[in-house]
Amino acid sequence: MITRFKLIFLALIILCGSGCSSLPFKNIDYVSLDGLNPNALRQEFQEQLAQNLEIINSIVFQYKWQSFSALGYTQIDLKSDTFRVSCLSPVGIKLFELTGDRQEVKPIFVLKELLQRGDLPRAVGEDIRRIYFDFTPLPVAKIESEKYKITFTQPSGKGELQYVFAGKNHWLVEKHYLEKKHKLWSVYYYDYELHNGKLYPTNLILKHHRFGYNLIIRLKEVP
């Protein structure tokens, strides 16, 4: 599995150009959360969050010292847990277009050079789910309240999901998946924007600790 990820990233770097970049977002402004009701905080965030997202993102894929950029168009329905995503290289070459849900990913188009080097649809589908699905903890999640953050933990697959709420707006800032107390992947949500009264994540980073890559995503436009 790790070898397939390396081949996919190598192909994308060749197609889109390589380089290095640093993490571009400001740190979370932590404030005291003393006195906040965790369940009320969770419910308020869930009600504010957009349930149907149609977004255009810039994406930077980082693997070790190499990186490449792309432009993505994504549609996500959080009520039905379905998505559609397409990705273009910086020079406008269509790299792939996929649809999917929790169970499967259906390729509509995948550039031949990418399809020959690994299961790109599966890799993209899994990252879409990590970032946008299971966006809020369940009411049964265990709660740990600290001065500057509130953490919700719930079972997920073979491990558990952890949600960290913090900052002046008390929104979700981190999501981690752990097995046997080891983090396999994390998503860091640095900022959100309001569009028509609903929240959209704008700046985020997915870190896959097991496979050693990062996705840096910026919201460019809500069509």
Give per-residue pLDDT as tens, 11-44: 554 445 554 444 567 778 889 999 999 999 999 9
Q: Quote the pLDDT of residue 38.
A: 95
At how many degrees (to 10) do helices 120-132 and 2-16 cross?
90
Q: Quote the pLDDT of residue 23.
A: 53
C-alpha pair distances (Å), 87 with each of 3, 35, 66, 93, 206: 22, 44, 19, 9, 17
- Global pTM exceeds 0.85: yes
Joined tokens for residue 112: 């031949």
Q: Quote the pLDDT of residue 178.
A: 97
Higher pLDDT, 173 or 3: 173
* pLDDT band of 117, cuts 50, 70, 90: low
- Specify the CATH number for the domain of residue 74: 2.50.20.10
Taking only the tens place, the pLDDT of each residue in 131-189 is 999 999 999 999 999 999 999 999 999 999 999 999 999 999 999 999 999 999 999 99
Tally of domains within the chain = 1
* pLDDT band of 50, cuts 50, 70, 90: very high
Q: Specify whether the CB–CB gap between 171 and 43 falls below 8 A.
A: no
Residue 79, Cβ density class (10 Å: 0-12 exposed, 13-18 middle, ≥19 buried): exposed
Q: Which domain holds residue 125?
A: 2-221
Taking only the tens place, the pLDDT of each residue in 58-86 is 988 887 777 788 899 999 999 999 999 99
Name the maximum alpha-carbon separation found in the chain: 55
